[in-house]
Amino acid sequence: MQLLLALSVLVARALAAHHDHHHDELEDQMPLGYVKFPYQATYPGDNEVTADSIFSGITTFARLPWSQCLTDKNADFDIAFLGAPFDTGTSYRPGARFGPSGIRAGSRRLTLYGGYNVPLETNPFKLLKIVDCGDVPVTPYDNARAIQQIEDGHKELLHRTPTSALGNDSLTGEPLVPLALDGKHHPRIITLGGDHTIVLPLLRSINSAYGAISVIHFDSHLDTWKPSVFGGSDSQGIGGGALNHGTYFYWASQEGLIKNGSSIHGAIRTTLSGPADYENDDNAGFKRIEAREIDTLGVDGIIAKIRETVGDKPVYLSIDIDSIDPAFAPATGTPETGGWSTRELRAIIRGLDGLHIVSADIVEVAPAYDTNAELTTMAAADVLFEVLGVMAKTPLGKVAGKA
């Protein structure tokens, strides 16, 4: 009996030692030492604070720490989530102003087991400092003002110095230099929309660091329509109704924000005013992959087409949730059937591994139209998990002297 007791004490000590070691290891790897993820939960008796469960506490993206980045100039990060709750540029169903809070709610389980991405073989949460900066204050009463607020908020974060240094090239070991036109190393921002109009101010901000940028755009619609084709507006000009979620790329192209010829749409399946819409889209600088091409090219063929178009140029990624079929993501402003499955879009995004994605957004999530099972907000969060993985694996740098 005594022997048994002694043995069990020994086993318990060994287990405790193992537990401590494991714990230290996680702390070492995790730059966010001040955050406890649910999988690190400790229990009364361990002399530790118990981490919140994934269904409790204040909701941030993936339960990341909330950083008051917009007002705290010293707040630093490698990737910041930023909400842009704007939906007064919508043509059909409104409600994307609730997108940021909906996506956050849909993202709660992302870090339950620690956030390791199996197919990408990476854990973005351990490689980089990732925070949720909350939402840009956006007025719902004045679109021109709101657009300016979004640009200012994004720019404020984009021009911070990232937490982690660029490091060295993984192949040659040579130090990397920044890709940005201003020669500086910038953090990456993932914006939670909001309707798609927000991409005009986001690209204006991106322009301040990178100049004209290549764009990968997943959407069932072109979003390059001239205001007259899309329906026009009494108050002409870019401050009025002529800027909306179907025309922002037209204006971005007019302003020279998009790199012509190395930008591409994916998942297009909208009806058109006529074939001239595609000519107009060509003029805005985009190539196109239609949704139905997945039946002929497959996921790999689509990935190849995107990579061929963009090359190793810095690229901005804009994801309209309506690129996914409404069977998987019904809660959106202008749903179109015949889209890609969540699995297909996630695989395509993983296929962007190695591209220099400078920042990204997901837009048009309007949670009021979602199912009780939170299908759409969960899909949006999971798609962003793939974006995080791809970003974490590829620093925004190049070897000096190389183009």
- Token code pair at residue 259: 């790199």
Q: Which is nearer to Mn ion, 265 or 356 (CB)?
A: 265
Q: Using CA of residue 333, residue 339, residue 343, residue 346, what is the dihedral sign?
A: negative
Count the residues in the chain: 403
**On the CB side of 345, how many CA atoms lie within 13 Å of its CA?**
34
Is position 221 annotated in a ligand binding site? yes
Closest approach of Mn ion to the CB of residue 252, in Å? 13
Contact 331, 375 (CB under 8 A): yes
Taking residue 53's Cβ as centre, other Cβ atoms within 10 Å add up to 12
Q: Which is nearer to Mn ion, 353 or 364 (CB)?
A: 364
Is position 196 annotated in a ligand binding site? yes
**Interacting positions 183-222 with Mn ion (CB under 5 A):** 196, 219
Q: Which is nearer to Mn ion, 156 or 219 (CB)?
A: 219
Closest approach of Mn ion to the CB of residue 367, in Å? 17
What would the x/- binding string for Mn ion be over residues 292 to 311, using CB under 5 A?
--------------------
Give, in order, the Cα–Cα distances in Å from 138 to each of 143, 247, 285, 309: 9, 20, 30, 34
Interface with Mn ion, residue 135, by CB under 5 A? no
Q: Which is nearer to Mn ion, 132 or 364 (CB)?
A: 364
Contacts 24+ apart (CB under 8 A), 307-310: 307/351, 307/352, 307/355, 309/214, 309/261, 309/262, 309/263, 309/264, 310/214, 310/216, 310/262, 310/263, 310/264, 310/355
Closest approach of Mn ion to the CB of residue 177, in Å? 34
Is position 72 annotated in a ligand binding site? no
Candidates 223, 281, 344, 382: give the one binding Mn ion (CB under 5 A): 223
Q: Which is nearer to Mn ion, 70 or 315 (CB)?
A: 315
Distance (Å, whole) CA 64 – CA 90: 30
Number of residues lying near Mn ion (CB under 5 A): 4
Is position 223 annotated in a ligand binding site? yes
Closest approach of Mn ion to the CB of residue 364, in Å? 6
Is position 353 annotated in a ligand binding site? no
DSSP string of 60-93?
-GGGPPB--TTT-TT---SEEEEEE---TT-SS-
Closest approach of Mn ion to the CB of residue 14, in Å? 57
Q: Which is nearer to Mn ion, 196 or 356 (CB)?
A: 196
Closest approach of Mn ion to the CB of residue 233, in Å? 18
Is position 322 annotated in a ligand binding site? yes
**On the CB side of 270, how many CA atoms lie within 13 Å of its CA?**
25
Q: Which is nearer to Mn ion, 90 or 123 (CB)?
A: 90
**Interacting positions 313-332 with Mn ion (CB under 5 A):** 320
Q: Using CA of residue 388, residue 245, residue 158, residue 358, what is the dihedral sign?
A: positive
Closest approach of Mn ion to the CB of residue 219, in Å? 4
Q: Which is nearer to Mn ion, 70 or 199 (CB)?
A: 199
Q: Pick from 313, 334, 331, 344: which is nearest to 374 by CA? A: 331
Q: H or E element: which one contains 177?
A: strand 176-178
The position carrying tokens 């005009």 is 200
Closest approach of Mn ion to the CB of residue 45, in Å? 52
- Token code pair at residue 4: 């048994």
Closest approach of Mn ion to the CB of residue 54, in Å? 31
Task: State residue 288 phi and psi, 5-degree precision.
Answer: -135, 140
Q: Which is nearer to Mn ion, 102 or 333 (CB)?
A: 333
Residues 6+ apart with CB under 8 A from 391: 79, 124, 128, 188, 357, 360
Where is the binding site, in residues? 196, 219, 221, 223, 320, 322
Q: Which residues are annotated as a binding site for Mn(2+)?
A: 196, 219, 221, 223, 320, 322
Q: Which residues bind Mn ion (CB under 5 A)?
A: 196, 219, 223, 320
